[in-house]
Chains A and B, each alone.
Chain A
Amino acid sequence: MTAVSPPPPITAAERPAPPPARRTGFAGRLLSEWTKIRSVRSTAWTLLIFVVVSLGLTGLLTWLTLHSLNTGRNGARDSGILTDPVNFILGTGLGLGQLAICVLGALVITSEYSSGTIRASLLAVPRRYPVMLAKALVFAVLVFIIGEIVAFCSFFIGAVLVNGQTYTLHGSVAGHAVTAHRTLSVSLSQPGVLRAVFGSGLYLTVLGLFALAIGSLIRHTAGAITAVIGMVLVIFPLAGLLPDSWGAHVHAYLPTIAGQLVTQDKPTAGQLLSAWQGFGVFCAWTALLLAAAIFLLERRDA
């Protein structure tokens, strides 16, 4: 416990004069939200985990898979590194790193509820919706910047490991032994690659907002994180098992399933939405959830 001197006696003369009134509007709220987000350690920690996990796993898994190919293990061939190396690079590290963004998105709003800061926030901005808008904007810009940096770094790490590697593949066609040679090469100038890398940063940004909206609706840290990660990792992917055409359509239009299309350089067979259509669907879901979050923020007792 820190020893602290007792407050000084109050006299009217000593008390500082009120500062001059200055109109601030939305700029002040943005500044305020930036102060909030930068002044808790959880932000730095979560972003550090995001960077380390994303870049580390991209490097590690790419290297391990290449190594397996060299030693002739067949499993590595099914990983997609040969058919679509860009997608492999962007999918491995960021696929796990995205969970940190989910956590941070939920946390920036649920921590206000768990700590009671939301009351101070709403006393300062009683109209309430500017709090959510400012928070969403500041958080989106932060995740966009870090997300793009990490997406491009991931790509370059993967590219350095992958480029120039030649593999000799042994197989059999119609009973005859066949040998094929393949040299891997990825670059931003290949069709769809720049869009996929840049799209990864965009996807992470919208994912963060998606988590923020869920966090605002649920208002409990553990519940919100569980809900977001459960959706992203389990529920949405599992919907791919739904039967028939309607099942495929439902699956394709789910938030992160649609959103991830923009992170893939090549369309997969039978893909129902284009990359940007998918991203649009994800944005629409997120906008809808944010609107619901603002609606409930204004309705509910704080």
Chain B
Amino acid sequence: MIEAQDLTKRYGDKVAVDHLTFRVEPGRVTGFLGPNGAGKSTTMRLVLGLDRPAAGRATINGRPYIQLAQPLRTVGALLEARSMHPGRSARNHLLFLAQTQGLPSRRVDEVLDLVGLREVARKRTRGYSLGMGQRVGIAAAMLGDPSVLLLDEPVNGLDPEGILWVRNLIKQLAREGRTIFVSSHLMNEMAVTADHLIVIGRGKLIADCSTREFIARSSEKSVLVRSPDADRLADLIAAEGGKAIAQQPSDGQAGALSVTHLEAPRIGEIAAANRIVLHELTPRLASLEEAFMELTAGSVEYGGGETTAAGAPSAPSAATPPAASAATPPGSSQ
């Protein structure tokens, strides 16, 4: 189990990780999702003791990483940045790691077999493709047969076959009861791999819930309604339990509403009963990727997203619920 308590990291004035608290449970794949620059890698580095937090702490099975005597036997990690010498062979890279943990060289050959690199293992990694380099990283993570795995963007640079292989490996490892923490900036990848999601943006926790729940909430249906009498309609929709959010009027058209929690036929009936003219009534279904983008819209590092004074992601302009409401206490959903 991985636990982060109030984890904070600053680089100068910039807050990379902002009071993150979460828990990664064993026996399932926990996806760590966020746009580029959201602080995923930094969080992982904090958990692994590579970076020092400005505040808060992270533990693995109840202990800070630095206190693990032979950490690779407990924790395996694949970092996003390449961490091997191009002039050293994969086998020697794994061998020197194994030697620090008192693992026999036989174990190096075993993990090389596991990732299918045995035949090129004595060649220098300079000539390896991105995918092969990634596999060496996975072999290194598996060296000590750890119960906890942190994988930072493990499918980056892999071909479809490699992606499938990593997915299956991750799921298999979780089924064996291990704690699996996998980061990605791709919602669709996480949707098929992760059982549970921790979503961050600008270093802050946005959501901590099961993937099913996240998808259900994110792909919430909305209805686009246009009416010259949008304000009155919005009040009536609210009275019926719906939720209407005014949209920016584009090219001089009548006021538009994005309505959730109410089906299109019901909205039509309300309008008819109150003699309100409708110009448009369109049911919409946001894609997962769109929903994720909207959810994190206020928190994209390089985007034009605005944040409120409190620093919380601003409510998206479309139909998704405000981000803050998406966060649930760690572990409460299972």
Contact = CB atoms under 8 A, between A and B. Distances in A.
Contacts of B52: 299, 301
Contacts of A7: 114-117, 135, 162, 165
B127 interface: yes
Nearest to A117: B85
Interface stretch (B32-40, B42-50, B183-191, B306-314): B42-50
A35 interface: yes
A120 B84 contact: yes
Given A10-B172, A18-B145, A123 B116 contact: no
Interface string A282-302: 000000000000000001011
Nearest to B76: A123
B89 interface: yes
A115 interface: yes
B100 A125 contact: yes
A122 interface: yes
A87 interface: no
B168 interface: yes
Q: How large is the interface on A (under 10, 10 to 19, 20 to 34, 35 or more residues)?
A: 35 or more
Contacts of A299: 52
Contacts of B103: 19, 22
Contact of B100 (A17, A32, A116): A32
B127 A124 contact: no
B182 to A, nearest CB: 16
Contact of B102 (A5, A11, A21, A121): A21
B88 A39 contact: yes
Given A5-B116, A7-B115, A116-B83, A123 B96 contact: no
B72 A123 contact: yes
Interface of B: 45, 48-52, 65-66, 68, 70-73, 75, 77, 79, 81-89, 92-93, 95-97, 99-104, 106-107, 110, 113-117, 119-120, 123, 127-129, 132, 135, 140, 144-145, 161-162, 165, 168-169, 172, 175-176
Going nearest first, the 6 A-B pairs with the smallest beta carbon separation are A7-B116, A24-B102, A18-B145, A39-B92, A116-B83, A32-B99
Interface of A: 1-2, 4-12, 15-19, 21-24, 28-29, 31-33, 35-36, 39-42, 111-112, 115-127, 299, 301-302
